[in-house]
Amino acid sequence: MEAYAELLATERYGSGEPWQYVAKDGSMERRRDSREAESRGNTFITVFKSVFLPQGYPDSVSGDYLQYQFWDTLQAFSSSLSGTLATQASLKGVGVGNQEATVAAATVTWLLRDGTSMLGRIVFAWLKGNKLDSEAKKWRLFADILNDIAMFMEILAPFYPACFTLIVCTSGIFKSVVGVAGGATRAALTVHQARRDNMADISAKDGSQETLVNLAGLLVSLILIPLVTDNPALTLTLFFLFTALHLFANFKAVRSVVMETLNEARLAILLRHFLRDGHVLTPLEANREEPVFLEFRKTLPIKLGVRLQEVVQRPEELRLAMRKDAPFLLGVTNGCVRVCLASHAHTRDEIKAMCQAIWLSDMLNPSRQHHGLKEMLQKSYKLMDVEFDRFLKGVEAAGWDATRTLLDWDEWRLEWNPKIR
């Protein structure tokens, strides 16, 4: 008859299967809660998870992590194969396999390509670096589309030897933009995925996943290269197939991301739904409606954190626009809604200012009829005074993080004289 085993404690690793500690025959024994031995398959899965997934998965990451990583892995694999075809074309274009080509000419072409890429990286980071946090999904997808265009140019370049250097330099500029946008947006998504201040772990495991995918792509490429050599038709056919898979997987990847922080697009979606039916969408619902392609605005653009002179030009205009202890000042000039922010403004004030700017931008749309600008400004202030507190409570109740935002504020801040009124 089996001796009585007294349960001492139960433990689990993250959300894994629990283990029991029991006292038996004067000693402490550790065993599964289910009292089943760990199988070899389970051991392999456990090791695989520990190598390629962040510690504490799935509790240590956001709920959309696995779905995003699946599509991201698929797009990385197809991009790796497309890159092999593009690299082969580039090497052929600089003279590999051509006895008449010189080492000096090939070196100059490669140096020009690298030089233009470096300049492109600096210029793009200067012009658009501040947009990559607030519009991470759009720029992530844009980067991958641009990467496919760059690889297509490299494949076509050998067919136009007179323009080869120009084509590969242009391709290099595109790829430099891809490097900046792709790396920065990946970092922004890692911040979103990290739930235990484990950004470094998530980033490291993402690198391991990418390395494994690239290794698989390398093995497949070894099979493809003999088939596509001196076969332009097959090269282009395979490239378009891999590109189609790459773009589809990228679209699904960014669509699967559910961010709980507010940027302009998500806040606009929430506000419009709230003003229409009084309901605040959840993060999942709003993220489904968020556009993921860069687009031309159909409403007035909004600029946040601008200089005072961009909103008012005369003292009397400032007196009319000022409100007691106002945390922001809003105006419409040169076809743009502009917001000045006070130095004492908090995150709540930033959200309120953005809501008012979004409403004005929608109402002043050229396709809509509206009253005078001054009347619309006054109406926007009254609307926020009445509705904003209820709206913000609904936002927090729906699961949004209202303690920080991804709104694209510039750095100008005001301290106006309280005696001007």
Residue 203 scores a pLDDT above 90: yes
Task: Please compute the mean of the pLDDT values over residues 328-354 and round it to a whole number.
Answer: 92
Instruction: Identify the CA nearest to 331 among candidates 316, 309, 352.
Output: 309
C-beta atoms surrounding 80 within 10 Å? 20
Other beta carbons within 10 Å of 242: 23
What average pLDDT score do residues 290-302 get?
84
Using alpha carbons only, what angle is made at residue 413 by residues 409 and 415, rounded to the nearest 5 degrees?
155
Cα–Cα dist 374/3, whole Å: 87
| 149 contacts 177 by C-beta, under 8 angstroms | no
- All structural domains of the chain: 6-52 (no CATH), 65-257 (1.20.1250.20), 262-420 (no CATH)
- 294 has a pLDDT exceeding 50: yes
Q: Which residues contact 287 (CB under 8 A, 6 or more apart)?
A: 257, 258, 259, 266
| Measured distance CA(299)–CA(283) in Å, rounded | 24
pLDDT of residue 42: 63
pLDDT score, position 285: 97
Least-confidence region, from 129-133, 249-253, 404-408: 129-133
Is the bond into 58 cis (omega within 30 degrees of 0)? yes
Query: Quick one: pLDDT at residue 277?
Result: 94
Among 171-180, 247-256, 363-372, 405-414, the range scoring the smallest mean pLDDT is 363-372
Q: What is the mean pLDDT of residues 151-158?
A: 88
Q: Ranked by mean pLDDT, which of 29-33, 37-41, 319-323, 416-420 comes out on top?
A: 29-33
What is the pLDDT confidence band of residue 323, given thresholds at 50, 70 and 90?
low
Q: What is the 3-state secondary structure (H, E, C) of the chain?
A: CCCCCEEEEEECCCCCCCEEEEEECCEEEEEECCCCCCCHHHHHHHHHHHHHCCCCCCCCECCCHHHHHHHHHHHHHHHHHHHHHHHHHHHHHCCCCCCCCCHHHHHHHHHHHHHHHHHHHHHHHHHHCCHHHHCHHHHHHHHHHHHHHHHHHHHHHHHCHHHHHHHHHHHHHHHHHHHHHHHHHHHHHHHHHECCCCHHHHHHHHHHHHHHHHHHHHHHHHHHHHHHCCCHHHHHHHHHHHHHHHHHHHHHHHHHCCCCEECHHHHHHHHHHHHHHCCCCCHHHHHHHCCCCCCCCCCCCEEECCCHHHCCCCHHHHHHHCCCCCCEEEEEECCEEEEEEECCCCHHHHHHHHHHHHHHHHHCCCCCCCCCHHHHHHHHHHHHHHHHHHHHHHHHHCCCEEEEECCCECCCEECCCHHHC
pLDDT in tens, 251-290: 999 999 999 999 999 999 999 999 999 999 999 999 999 9
pLDDT value at residue 108: 76
- The answer, yes or no, to whether residue 41 has pLDDT greater than 60, is no
pLDDT tens-place string over residues 62-74: 999 999 999 999 9
**161: closest CA among 94, 260, 243?**
94
Q: Tokens 């100008």, residue?
A: 412
Q: Are 177 and 145 in contact (CB under 8 A)?
A: no
> For residue 98, which amino acid is it?
N
| 125 or 26, which is more confident | 125
Instruction: Give the per-residue pLDDT at 38.
Output: 47
97-104 LR contacts (CB < 8 Å, sep 24+): none
* First-last CA distance in the chain: 92
For residue 302, pLDDT over 70 is answered with yes
Q: Are 138 and 188 in contact (CB under 8 A)?
A: no
Predicted pLDDT at 418: 65
The confidence score (pLDDT) of residue 254 equals 96
Q: Which is nearest to 351 in space by CA: 387, 318, 301, 319?
A: 387
Q: Pairing state of beta strands 6-11 and 19-24? A: antiparallel
Least confident range from 188-192, 232-236, 321-325: namely 321-325
* Average pLDDT of the segment spanning 7-33: 78
11-38: average pLDDT: 72
Q: 15 pLDDT exceeds 80?
A: no
What is the model's pLDDT at position 10? 82
Burial category of 168 from C-beta neighbours within 10 Å (exposed 0-12, middle 13-18, buried 19 and up): buried
Using pLDDT thresholds of 50, 70 and 90, give the confidence band for residue 1: very low
Band of residue 40 on the pLDDT scale cut at 50, 70, 90: very low
Residue 341's pLDDT band (cuts 50, 70, 90): very high
**pLDDT tens-place string over residues 85-130:** 888 877 665 554 444 545 666 677 778 888 888 999 999 999 988 8
Q: What is the mean pLDDT of residues 24-49?
A: 69
- Report d(CA 360, CA 372) in Å as an integer: 12
pLDDT band per the 50, 70, 90 thresholds, residue 28: confident
**At 3, phi and psi to the nearest 5?**
-65, 150
